[in-house]
A and B are shown apart, each in its own frame.
Chain A
Amino acid sequence: MTSGPYNYSYIFKYIIIGDMGVGKSCLLHQFTDKKFMADCPHTIGVEFGTRIIEVAGQKIKLQIWDTAGQERFRAVTRSYYRGAAGALMVYDITRRSTYNHLSSWLTDTRNLTNPSTVIFLIGNKSDLDGQRDVTYEEAKQFADENGLMFVEASAKTGQNVEEAFLETAKKIYQSIQDGRLDLNAAESGVQHKPASPGRPLAAQPPARDNCAC
């Protein structure tokens, strides 16, 4: 039960963004439940999911905020996005328009998150290669130019989904190890081992004694 002792050392906060219908919620379900939801209802406002993963022997709880594609940061206050350690930016490889909108998503993300937020670009629906509208090469180039991590994935088959979430976590963890990510910063999107239940999330005193940095 959740009120029992915590069995993880960190909480990383993620957001998933991208145009409507690119499969954000499906990626989340695939990652948290290892299932594909063919008829996933639209996200209105936000939803969230969690999963505990392990990076370098440390248990990390991922708290993933799934946003409504049509909202573009507006419905829910920006503070929820600002405190994100990782942002998964998703487009649909079979719909060019969703790729074309990436630059405005990226602008929004950069404006509303902090500089150390790890942004991971995901080209979803890689199982529909026959209907491909965006090549791997051009997306890879876009990612490189903007310093993003990139992978093509399929929420349907599960291909590369784990990888995307885990690689993001590794990168964030690396930033903590390198000292690039300041755990004391209110909006780092990372919490060290949580305090007793019932405390506000944001007001937890950073416990640095176990930290390797």
Chain B
Amino acid sequence: MENNNILLCLRSPTKDRIEITEYDLKLPAWSLESLKSAAIELRLGRPRSLAWAIMLNALPPPSGDIISSLETHRNFYNDLKCKLSMDPRAVIGDDPLSQNDESAWKQHFCDIELKALILQDVVRTFPDEVYFREKEVQDLMVDVLFFWARSHSHVGYRQGMHEILAPLLFELHLDRKFAPVNLSETLKYYLDVNYLEHHSYMLFNAVMKGMEKFYTTGDVVPSASGRLPTCKVVHNPNEVVRYLEKVKDEYLVSCDSQLATRLVEHNISLELFGIRWLRLLFGREFPRAEIPHLWGFLFADGPMLPHLHYFVVAMLVSLRDTLLSVEAGFALSVLMRPSPLPAAHVMALALSLRRPRHYLRPLPMRPLAPSPDPVPASHRRRRSSYSDSDTSPWCVVPAAAEQRSGALPVAEAAEAAEAAGAVAEGVAEGADVARELAALALLRARLPPAAAALHAALPRVPPRAAAPLHQILQLAALLQCRNHALVDVETALEAAEGDASEKVGRQEIVPIAVVPKRSPMKAPTDTKQPSGAKEVQLKVFHQTECKTTSDFPFLDPLRTRTD
């Protein structure tokens, strides 16, 4: 199951896993560190909005005083509202026709215009989501956006902010909706429905700390009514455009220069799609049900989102095979539409780019074949709406894993990818098989000790982890007992699984057919095997190059070995 593979890549190898119980702010599960690692592994518990607020430094973890911090936020918002909603009739010596910038009346009319501008966007928020059709919800959104824009006049209100607020608000809503009856005092206080608006502002404000730079427009400041002045001179590039250029020049080039060069050759600059990626925090690039996990993952870095560029690069690198093989217009249309890959895959890739020594790189997934004619992105966006149920698409691993077998969850050696500078996958026809073999060799070397360590570290296995752990141990045993015999297999030059012919030559070696029975894994090539077989069918042939398990091929073994 592909998701499982990705989840494996998202696990930090060093940290102990602490299970998070829903609606129970027990420490250490709700400590900042524990929340962050849970967010990275996509297993944040409810109230998720509270976890976000803690990771974004808007609220302290439960070891601090959440209640008094919430009270401060509520009072702040009340004061802000009060200050910015002053009745112009109460101001003495002002008149409604005043064009003076200081005039409360002028401000009042500008405010009306700005609210109308915001409402125009808010009513179009997530058209397929019933929650956002309610008038109270729309009014709440207009208020939060309006007061934020008024108190951040250098940014103002910009289109897209409503699509940042909406997922936050929806999580706040769901946290209330799914709350059990008996709650701790802190949670009761936090989940008080009367303060949904205040908490929305708190969370929105916290997210915007890192996001507002993507919304500013060079040195141009919007007018009080929210409009931008006509452009007369050549303006400075926006910060978001500069940011994207920097991402390309400093990170993409060093991580995948071939891809960076191709984008330049195609005359595709990142801003064409990157502005949308950043301003909406990738909200339109993935099905909406994946967004809470993605945002939790991104928020784990703190309010300034310092590692966002890794995600941008990962978005591009995850599409590299497609981008490198198609013509310019087509490549652009691929980038303009939502990601064909699950968010978890891109997250795993982003982690491995950021910390190659700690996180394994996920195997490249085959993106869907892009359709020949680019359709405007908005057409394909509504792939799935928020799931109202609280079951996460990612966190239900064990039962599903038993049922079906998927591709082998091989993780390439991240160090090797790093050392090679460029990514070595998908090089040429046949290289796939070679890479899978290399990966299998790596798995053979790494999985058994890792499984043993895992088993040792978990004397009392939590029920949900028991089944997968058992499977991992089984697999490790399977790999281990064959280890000495399998060394030769790594010398394979070509693999044609299931090949029954007896043709054997130095260049034609047909070594592996892993037959899964109860395991969630099988050999990377997709040939169906009879399900009755119990063990690895193995053919070992003459050529021997790998003498030790440490000699496993990291890079493109096909090329190195045929030379």
Residue in contact with B267 in the complex, picked from A37, A38, A63, A201, CB distance below 8 Å: A201
B272 and A41: CB pair below 8 A?
Answer: no
B329 and A50: CB pair below 8 A?
Answer: yes
Give the interface residue-count category, chain B: 35 or more
- Given known pairs A32-B375, A42-B159, A45-B279, the reply for A75 and B240 (CB within 8 Å) is yes
Give the interface residue-count category, chain A: 35 or more
Q: How far is the CA of A41 from the CA of B231 in the complex (A)?
A: 26
Q: How far is the CA of A54 from the CA of B117 in the complex (A)?
A: 40
A47 and B376: CB pair below 8 A?
Answer: yes
Q: Which 4 A-B pairs give the minimum distances between C-beta atoms?
A: A39-B127, A197-B327, A45-B275, A104-B230
B228 and A41: CB pair below 8 A?
Answer: no
Q: How far is the CA of A107 from the CA of B128 in the complex (A)?
A: 37
Residue in contact with A74 in the complex, picked from B160, B218, B274, B373, CB distance below 8 Å: B218
- Given known pairs A2-B327, A108-B231, A198-B328, the reply for A32 and B272 (CB within 8 Å) is no
Q: How far is the CA of A48 from the CA of B128 in the complex (A)?
A: 23
Q: Is B336 an interface residue, CB under 8 A from the partner?
A: yes
Q: How far is the CA of A33 from the CA of B327 in the complex (A)?
A: 22
- Given known pairs A20-B159, A76-B272, the reply for A48 and B228 (CB within 8 Å) is no
Q: Using CB atoms, name the residue of chain B closest to A101.
A: B227
A48 and B332: CB pair below 8 A?
Answer: yes
Say which one of A21-29, A124-132, A145-153, A165-173 lies at the interface with B: A21-29
Residue in contact with B160 in the complex, picked from A38, A44, A72, A104, CB distance below 8 Å: A44
Q: Is B269 an interface residue, CB under 8 A from the partner?
A: yes
6 cross-chain CB contacts under 8 A: A42-B121, A45-B274, A48-B376, A50-B329, A78-B234, A199-B265
Residues 351-394 of B at the A interface (beta carbon under 8 Å): 372-379, 381
- Given known pairs A47-B377, A48-B332, A70-B228, the reply for A77 and B124 (CB within 8 Å) is no
- Given known pairs A39-B124, A63-B329, the reply for A46 and B280 (CB within 8 Å) is no
Q: How far is the CA of A162 from the CA of B116 in the complex (A)?
A: 32
Identify 6 new A-B residue pairs, CB closer than 8 A, beyond the known A20-B159, A33-B376. Answer: A3-B330, A44-B159, A74-B235, A77-B271, A108-B231, A197-B328
Give the residue among B269, B275, B279, B372 with the most A Cβ atoms within 10 A.
Answer: B275
Q: Which residues of B contact A28 (CB under 8 A)?
A: 376
B267 and A202: CB pair below 8 A?
Answer: yes
Q: Is B273 an interface residue, CB under 8 A from the partner?
A: yes
B residues neighboring A (CB under 8 Å): 117, 120-121, 124, 127-128, 158-160, 163, 217-218, 220, 228, 230-232, 234-235, 237-238, 240-241, 264-267, 269, 271-276, 279-280, 284, 326-330, 332-333, 336, 372-379, 381
B238 and A199: CB pair below 8 A?
Answer: no
Q: Is A136 an interface residue, CB under 8 A from the partner?
A: no
Residue in contact with A49 in the complex, picked from B158, B160, B232, B376, CB distance below 8 Å: B376
Residue in contact with A72 in the complex, picked from B121, B228, B271, CB distance below 8 Å: B228
Q: Is A5 an interface residue, CB under 8 A from the partner?
A: no
Q: How far is the CA of A63 from the CA of B332 in the complex (A)?
A: 12
- Encode contact with B along A196-211: 1 for CB under 8 Å, 0 otherwise: 0111111100000000
Q: Is A91 an interface residue, CB under 8 A from the partner?
A: no
- Given known pairs A63-B329, A70-B228, A75-B275, the reply for A200 and B266 (CB within 8 Å) is yes
Q: Which residues of B contact A212 (CB under 8 A)?
A: none
A2 and B376: CB pair below 8 A?
Answer: no
Give the residue among A2, A63, A72, A202 with the most B Cβ atoms within 10 A.
Answer: A2
Residue in contact with B231 in the complex, picked from A66, A73, A197, CB distance below 8 Å: A73
**Distance in Å: Cβ of A20 to nearest Cβ of chain B:** 7
